[in-house]
Amino acid sequence: MNILRSLVVATTAWTLTASTFAAGDLWVSDFEKAKATAAKEGKDLLIDFTGSDWCGWCIKLRKEVFDLDAFKSAGPKKFVLVELDFPQDKSKLTKETQEQNAKLQTQFGIEGFPSIILADAQGRPYAKTGYQAGGPEKYLPHLDELRAVKSKRDEQWKKAEGAQGVEKAKFLAAGLKALDEELVAKHYSKVVAEITALDPKDETGVGAAIGFKADLATLQGEIATVAGKDGAGAARKKTDEFIASHAKMTANQKQVALLSLLRVYRPPQDNDTVLKLMGEVKALDATTEEGKQAAMIEERVKEMNAKAAAKPAEKPAPK
């Protein structure tokens, strides 16, 4: 029996049902059980967001890396392998698994497949990757490089255990600086809150940088909800209130907040609104990446408007 054989190979003492496993004996589909196993065995999580029956790069990654003996032997020594599948054939998954996967897709901000998330046993991500050519011989060292990021984080956090006040905040902040700011903003809110409490003067700079990104992530979720309920105008009002409430916001941060509104505007009906918005973004600072992005969007919208104006009016259908 494959499940029993894989358990012997991995020398584990789990008692799991067949439904816990995904595409392959070594892959778990139950996220909470995966975290519990990782904590018990001192491992990390390797989470594969995949479309097993339609995503070409997902299938390629599995065939070239995950299905090969070199990975099957080495991967589970450091990771609990978690497959979160989004197949076209929904009959492959239980309703509970589908709901879990959809929730985790939102939680981890997954927009494309395959997305590989490396996380600690608490489920806090420390790195993100995807398909890499070269088979297990290249992929396993790549994963080791990413795990080194967590080692830097944990080294600083270990120092924080024996510190207090601002000194502790600085060690915690140094650990966060080893990680991508987007991951920190979305998944390390408790640590950010602790740093903020220990460092009210923001000597670490976490409040101004990471804190803003966390607030921005909240805003982006709120404006999508508000726009769906009360329209794009309500989303703009919510954004203006956000900017007003962050008195120390930099010009670039204001640009980022304003550009969040692009997700609620739709062409062609909102073209004029978008042109005005891009003008605001450029006026704040045309030299930033956001300022340049606004200029590019502005040109595209103008081209769209010009094409629409040049298109002959449709004749009414004969009665």
Q: Which two tokens stand for residue 185?
A: 């903003």
For 216-262, how does the pLDDT look when each residue is reduced to its tens digit (9 = 90+)? 888 988 998 899 899 999 999 999 999 999 887 889 999 999 999 99
Angular region, 135: left φ>0, alpha ψ -120 to 50, beta rest? left
Q: Could you tell me the two tokens for 137?
A: 């011989």
CA atoms in the 13 A half-sphere facing the CB of 157:
15
Return d(Cα 67, Cα 86) in angstroms, integer. 19
The pTM of this model reads: 0.67
CB 299 within 8 A of CB 282: no
Distance (Å, whole) CA 319 – CA 308: 26
Q: In sequence order, what are the beta bridge partners of 102?
A: none
Enter the tokens of residue 279.
Answer: 């003008």
pLDDT at 36: 98
**Element at 129 (helix H, strand E):** strand 125-129
Sequence-separated (6 or more) residues with CB below 8 Å from residue 173: 195, 199, 204, 205, 206
The CA-atom distances, in angstroms, between 195 and each of 53, 102, 202, 235 are: 44, 31, 9, 31
Closest CA to 191 of 163, 170, 222, 162: 170
Q: Are strands 115-119 and 44-50 parallel, antiparallel or unpaired?
A: antiparallel
Q: CA angle 217-236-196, nearest 5°? A: 35
SS3 content of the chain, % helix, strand, coil (to 5): 60, 10, 30
Q: Are 297 and 275 in contact (CB under 8 A)?
A: no
User: What is the mean pLDDT, run by run of 10 residues, along the chain of 319 residues?
Assistant: 37 32 72 98 98 96 97 97 96 95 93 96 97 97 97 97 96 95 87 93 85 82 90 95 88 94 92 96 95 95 92 67
Q: Enumerate residues 6+ apart whose C-beta is below 8 A from 301.
A: 267, 271, 274, 275, 278
Ramachandran class of 106: left when φ > 0, alpha when ψ lies in -120 to 50, beta otherwise: alpha
Distance (Å, whole) CA 223 – CA 220: 5
What count of other Cβ atoms lies within 10 Å of the Cβ of residue 226? 19
- pLDDT at position 319: 61
User: Whole-angstrom Cα distance, residue 190 to residue 82?
Assistant: 25
